[in-house]
Amino acid sequence: MNLLTAVLLWLLVLALLAHLLRRLPWLPGLVVAAGLVVLAWFLWQAPHEGETTWLGRTLHVDRAGTLWGFRLHLSTATRAPALLLLGWGALFALAGAWTRSDRVLFPGIPLILMALLLTLSSTPLLTAPFWLVVAVIFMAFAAQGTTPRLARGALRILLVPTLAFPVFLFASWAIGQPDLAVQDPGLWVLGWRVLFVALILLLTPVPLHGWIVSLGEHAPPLAAAFVVGSWQITTYALVRHVLLAYPLIAEFADPARWLPWVAVVQMVWAGLFAAAARRLGQLWGYLLLWDYGASLLLWSLSGEFGVDAILGMMLARPLVLVVTAAGYQALAERFGDNADYTALHGAVERLPTAGLGLVGGGLFLLGWPLGALFPARMATLRLAATGNNAAFLGAMLALFLATVGLARVMPHLNRPLRDPSMPREADGLGWLIWPLLLAGLLIALNPAVLDVFIQTLALWLVQV
Amino acid sequence: MSMPLPTLDAFLARVTPLAQEGAVGLSLLLVASLLVFSDWRFALAAFALVHVLVGILLTRLLPPEWALISWVVGGLVGVMWFLSARRVESIQRRQEKRPWWLPRWRLNASTLMRLALVLLLLVMVYSRRPVVALPGLEPDLAQLATFLALAGLVGLGLGDRPMRWGFGLSLWVLTAHFAVPALRTDVNTVALLAGLELLLGFAISYLIVVDGARFWPYPEDA
């Protein structure tokens, strides 16, 4: 058995266990979180060549498998995003168990991770996005949950990889024939341009950003944050791999030029609509979009030199996302999904930690001091200020607008209580939010605390 | 006296004239109608017929055993969506005390909007004849593939109901069924595209139920 097969089987068993235990209140989330931590620890320690053992079985680390024309191999470079994904999955499963999130999330997390790992482990590289379609199908289930609700978020997740996959197939055909450059130069050039379009599709620029906002408005908050984050880790690793494997694409569309603009437009768009939001779900959706754009901006400005910074940001990001999502989820349970600001009577009085989670988490998501993302956002702004003035101005404008959006919600959270029978928030919420805020504070004050992980993951990631 | 089922060769000999002449035009009309119909039964029937015609047309590009996979996929997806939509509507109508099979004709603003957009698309296709020409793809099939892609994108813009999105995404994948095998005839690619459509069909059928349950007058009765 090879390493990837063992990892996939483990994830499948976790999904089955979570499904069997789904009626129980917190156990499935705990089982999934524990299982993912064990798997992450195993991958962290496993050798990069030769053999290793797992539950008494010998695993061949170097050996690749084949399936439906794909060659599947969990390479050293793939192990870095795989560990990030497993860490995110464990944290979100634990937070979901703690906050009694929708039960579809628990079997959903290992299944989503399976499909994302297959995406990153597959060659030919340009047909690997097939597994992204499989991933978004699992994501759609997690985003919809078990409660009857508008399916807009779940439907929009399906859009991008479905549109992109045939485009990748065409690019794969055209680029895969070196003779075509002589026989039909027009078609050869079209192949490269189509590859550029396919990559752009995966980064979901405005106006394809709607899936993120719809998830914020219509999906359970933790599921929305996990789906957006895990998608971005995977597409970062995949697009980076494609850019390195097909450097000729820069002749047709230089990523150093277009990528910052994709990111800045997303951020400004998100900032504008966050500032004008009238509903909590809208605000949460546009915060997710802002965060997505800001992460993309760091990548676009730092390129290959910024691998360490990007990995550090991806390690710190789930802490802040979980705080914000948990706060919003507690508010949504009391005031309804995507509640209007005017309905938030008594939020601070009865749900103080939830309000703090939403607003504090939101500010830390934007990169304000004392939050885990402060070093990463500061690095982004510094890079923009030194090399790309337009991107810097755009990022500052977006930051200002999103902060206004968060400031606008504060007086509404502080509206006087109307219904004295409204229960107080669960005690457990504080036990989730405060430790995460403290962990974030520790990272903000001493970013070097993550260095041991960052340096190892960066060393692995660059071994393409 | 029962009539024997035709062999595959005999069947192909019978449908060859249809594949050469009538199927493209008929497919255009059926695609347009599936986007316009407000009642899911008729839209789903049009969707199934489109898959039948696409299977016949694909015999011009692929070996028949592979081309007719479109029938299997369209049939399975159609059955899944039928069962889901019927479940949603039968519970809703039982609560409203109306039979599930009775079509619900609606000529509301949304239907008129769909009609207007589809007419616009048909006029555009008729007058401008947009074609994405690919090597190995005959002009009429290239025109149909382009129309399917445009219709799919229009379908995705026509609302947020799961079945309509399913039609839109399916039409987009059907485009790839023509475009990709014309470039490379490879069983893995055919299987991947078929698998993609089946998986999307599976997800959409779940979303039809969970989205539709919002409209049950008494969700707790389900």
* Cβ pair A148:B184 closer than 8 A: no
Q: Does residue A226 sit in the same domain as residue A270?
A: no
In terms of Cα–Cα distance, which of A51, A66, A70 is closest to A3? A51
- The reply to whether B167 falls in a domain is yes
Counted domains in chain A: 2
Domain boundary among A232, A251, A270: A251
Summarize pLDDT for A41-88 with one digit per residue, the tens: 999 999 988 889 988 889 999 889 998 889 999 999 999 999 999 999
Summarize pLDDT for A1-52 with one digit per residue, the tens: 899 999 999 999 999 999 999 888 889 999 999 999 999 999 999 998 888 9
Alpha-carbon span A233 to A316, nearest angstrom: 13
User: Which of B176, B192, B202 is nearest residue A68 as measured by Cβ atoms?
Assistant: B192
What's the pLDDT score for residue A129? Answer: 94
Strands A65-67 and A57-60: unpaired
Alpha helices in A46-104 (DSSP H): 76-98
Q: Does residue A332 sit in the same domain as residue A245?
A: no
Give B102 to chain A, closest Cα distance, Å.
24
Interacting residues of B25 by C-beta distance below 8 A, sequence separation 6+: none
* Cβ pair B211:A148 closer than 8 A: yes
- The reply to whether A203 falls in a domain is no
What is the per-residue DSSP string for A311-346? Answer: HHHHHHHHHHHHHHHHHHHHHHHHH-TT-BGGG-TT
Show which of residues 177-216 on chain A sit within 8 Å of chain B, judged by CB atoms.
184, 187
Give B188 to chain A, closest Cα distance, Å.
6
Q: Residue B221: pLDDT above 60?
A: no
Chain B positions touching A68 (Cβ under 8 A) are 188, 191-192
Summarize pLDDT for A185-213 with one digit per residue, the tens: 888 898 999 999 999 999 999 999 999 99
Summarize pLDDT for A122-158 with one digit per residue, the tens: 988 999 999 999 999 999 999 998 888 889 999 999 9
Q: Residue B148: pLDDT above 80?
A: yes
In the block, which residue shows the tokens 């006296």?
A: B1
Q: Band of the pLDDT at A464, cuts 50, 70, 90?
A: low
Domain boundary among A226, A251, A276: A251
Interacting residues of A45 by C-beta distance below 8 A, sequence separation 6+: none
- The reply to whether B45 falls in a domain is yes
- The reply to whether B3 falls in a domain is no
- The reply to whether A426 touches chain B by the CB within 8 Å rule is no
Domain with B92, as residue range(s), is 12-221
Domain with A408, as residue range(s), is 254-464
- The reply to whether A187 falls in a domain is no
- The reply to whether B195 falls in a domain is yes
- The reply to whether B7 falls in a domain is no
How many interchain CB pairs under 8 A, A with B? 90
Q: Band of the pLDDT at B12, cuts 50, 70, 90?
A: confident
User: Which of B135, B173, B195 is nearest residue A162 as measured by Cβ atoms?
Assistant: B173
Q: Band of the pLDDT at B219, cuts 50, 70, 90?
A: low
What's the pLDDT score for residue A367? Answer: 94
The answer to whether A229 and A139 have CB atoms below 8 angstroms apart is: no
User: Which of B135, B175, B188 is nearest residue A69 as measured by Cβ atoms?
Assistant: B188
Alpha-carbon span B193 to B200, nearest angstrom: 11
Tell which wins on pLDDT, A426 or B46: B46
- The reply to whether A269 falls in a domain is yes
Give the chain A residue whose CA is nearest to the CA of B209.
Answer: A148
Domain boundary among A218, A236, A251: A251
Identify the burial level of A332 via C-beta atoms within 10 angstroms of its C-beta, where 0-12 means exposed, 13-18 middle and 19 or more buried. buried
Q: Does residue A222 sit in the same domain as residue A273?
A: no
Of A246-255, A318-327, B26-35, least confident by mean pLDDT is A246-255
Alpha-carbon span A374 to A366, nearest angstrom: 8
Tell me which amino acid residue A31 is.
Answer: V
Q: Band of the pLDDT at A337, cuts 50, 70, 90?
A: confident
- The reply to whether B98 falls in a domain is yes
Q: Band of the pLDDT at B222, cuts 50, 70, 90?
A: very low
Q: Does residue A124 sit in the same domain as residue A80?
A: yes
In terms of Cα–Cα distance, which of B161, B14, B181, B170 is closest to B88? B161
Q: Does residue A229 sit in the same domain as residue A343?
A: no
Counted domains in chain B: 1
Give the chain A residue whose CA is nearest to the CA of B210.
Answer: A148
Summarize pLDDT for B13-23 with one digit per residue, the tens: 887 877 777 88
Q: Does residue A214 sit in the same domain as residue A306?
A: no
Interacting residues of B75 by C-beta distance below 8 A, sequence separation 6+: B48, B51
- The reply to whether A200 falls in a domain is no
| Average pLDDT score, chain A | 93
Q: Does residue A332 sit in the same domain as residue A458?
A: yes
Interacting residues of A461 by C-beta distance below 8 A, sequence separation 6+: A77, A80, A81, A237, A307, A311
| Average pLDDT score, chain B | 86
Q: Does residue A62 sit in the same domain as residue A42?
A: yes
User: Which of A150, A169, A170 is nearest residue B214 as measured by Cβ atoms?
Assistant: A150
Alpha helices in B62-186 (DSSP H): 64-67, 69-96, 109-128, 139-156, 162-183
- The reply to whether A163 falls in a domain is no
Alpha-carbon span A79 to A92, nearest angstrom: 20
ipTM of the complex: 0.89
